[in-house]
Amino acid sequence: MDRIDPLGDLRRGEYCGKLRASDVGRELVLCGWVQRRRDHGGVIFVDLRDRTGIAQVVFKPDTAPAAHARAESLRSEFVLAVRGRVEARAPDAANPNLPTGEVELLADEVRILNTASTPPFPIEDDIEIDEEVRLRHRVHDLRRPCMQRSLELRHRLLQSVRRTCTELGLLEIETPNLTRATPEGARDLLVPSRLQPGSFYALPQSPQLIKQMLMAAGFDAYFQIVRCFRDEDGRSDRQLEFTQIDLELSFVGVDEILELLEEITVRGFRETLGVELERPFPRLSFAEAMARFGSDRPDTRIQLEIVDLSDVLAGSGFKVFSGAIASGGVVRALPVHDADSLTRGDLDRFESEAKNWGARGLAWVRVAADGSWQSPIAKFLSDAEREKIAERSSLRPGSLVFFGADREPVVCKVLGRLREALGARLERFDGRAWDPLFVVDFPLFKEDEQGQLSYMHMPFVAPLEEDIELISSEPLRVRATHYDLVLNGVELGSGSLRNHRSSVQLEILEALGYSEAKARDRFGFLLDALDAGAPPHGGFAFGFDRMSLLIAGGDSLREVIAFPKTQRMQDLIMDAPSRIDPEQLQELGLRVRLPRGEPK
């Protein structure tokens, strides 16, 4: 029997972590890994672990001598099947820190299903492990209870989303993973074609254009939990391949889509954490979010807000301020009250950080107990300017105010990040655990760092109907139907209504520098689908990994992805990416040219 089936007649009767006092008297089989083994004067205790938790197994020489003899050879991470009877622990032996701590399994029979090499680190939560070591030994890392809990929560969220979308009438439709390169904000990952030498597929950054064609085809409510790929530099909140919840609906406006997103989010939190998010989610315009919080993904729990001083300081004798405004920039301030705990060393560190964020410097003023201003810039400000700054910033003794003077995007970035840093440093949160909101009314276009016209999110976003006439004449005034879902300062996803008329789509592409011929060469398949009679449609894409991270807690997406890449986008288990045999390259018609100094 053992040669056919290693378990034989030892079939698992219960998970380790499910044992309770109500199970006393049951005869059953537990299967799992040895967490630890202890020999107490001839009686051997083994903590047996599976993904649900730990159960104590007891081997006694007088009740099951053969099992006890085998237990003497057990070591950490051996894989076992144990038959026995559940017994109550003596009151003084119970472990109140374990859900299974009132009971134990008295072993009658044990089978060692596999031995194990010594693990590279303890299979426990409260230990410090270098992340590269964790990723190289991911099989052991995934055995840790915190990782098992995170991936279980991810599973439950996945099922909640699938169930909700299905109940709301959306159809789950798969889309191709081999498609063509399109401009969607990041580099494409390319796949060479053997049958069409010199041509490449692109792995999808998102199914954006394909789902628009589904709308044109009449599937008026689609969703997909889909793998996407972007060749981006690594960060804690970014991966080379990631999962998104992709949605698209026809014959809808912005309000209907936002209501759907609320429903998916509320149910997801309810069914995974038992948390009830308050509805409706607040809505902030892009302009208001940037003006008040310096970010289009604000955490409004932080009780600090930016104020605009451009009108107050346009004629200031302090040229840093007036010069920025004269050059088309702004002057804004971030007041921080009761800030006595911030030292001059703290201010110097914040100034250094501000320069890293793109500022030329960071001016500040501290209001002393007697109301006087302590600052290197105080002497450059007139009494009238001081009075207006104090009034608008609600300054009082103990207040500290930081100034940003530059182009508006730079000021927003610097003061927005400073606001987040100070909120954490001074614990200026309002007590809410969760802060969901929608940011709406984004601009359609923006200028890049070279002053060239670019798109804010992607070139397929529909403008407001009344702004279509501005596309060719005043593109920066065109408002988009774009919206973001933000939770606790994290962007969970983005969406918009799409261009369902090819004439509008062509006009947007032309504003971005595409001739009609080039636009049809790159996007002819989409334009043809729109011309076939596409309905008004729009959608959204949740960053599923980010949503899972928020629900599970943690600092990195690598905590909620089973086999993630490093920040250098390497898979340390599979040793990928790897070099390809010359024969395979030749078959694909490829030749590798390495940068100078790179080992061959």
pLDDT number for residue 10: 87
Per-residue exposure over 140-169, b if at least 16 CB sit within 10 Å of its own CB, e if not: bbbbbbebbebbebbebbbebbeebbeeee
Burial level of 209, CB count in 10 A (0-12/13-18/19+)? buried
Quickly state the pLDDT bin for 24 (edges 50, 70, 90). Answer: very high
pLDDT value at 239 more than 50: yes
Closest CA to 55 of 13, 91, 86: 86
**pLDDT over 60 at 114, yes or no:** yes
CA distances from 189 to 201, 565, 585 (A): 8, 15, 17
Please determine, for residue 184, whether its predicted confidence score (pLDDT) is greater than 60. Answer: no
Q: What is the pLDDT of residues 418-430, one digit of tens each?
A: 999 999 999 999 9
pTM recorded for the entire structure: 0.89
Query: Is the confidence at residue 241, as pLDDT, over 80?
Result: yes
Q: What is the mean pLDDT of residues 176-197?
A: 85
For domain 16-114, which architecture applies?
Beta Barrel (2.40)
Residue labelled with tokens 């159960």: 55
Q: What percent of the chain has pLDDT over 70?
A: 98
Cα 81 to Cα 78, 84, 108, 256, 297: the distances in Å are: 10, 10, 11, 53, 50
Q: Is the pLDDT of residue 586 over 70?
A: yes
Confidence of residue 319 (pLDDT cuts 50, 70, 90): very high
Residue limits of CATH 3.30.1360.30 in the chain: 302-429
State the pLDDT at residue 262: 97
Residue 481 has pLDDT above 60, yes or no: yes
Other beta carbons within 10 angstroms of residue 37's beta carbon come to: 19
d(CA 59, CA 522): 70
- pLDDT tens digits for range 520-572: 998 999 999 999 999 999 999 999 999 999 999 988 899 999 999 988 888 89
- Name, in order, each residue with C-beta under 8 angstroms of 352's C-beta and a sequence gap of 6 or more: none
CATH 2.40.50.140, the chain: domain bounds: 16-114
302-429: what fold?
Gyrase A; domain 2 (3.30.1360)
Instruction: Report the range out of 129-138, 264-273, 356-365 with the highest average pLDDT.
Output: 264-273
**Range with the poorest average pLDDT among 69-83, 104-118, 392-406, 444-458:** 444-458
pLDDT tops 70 at residue 156:
yes
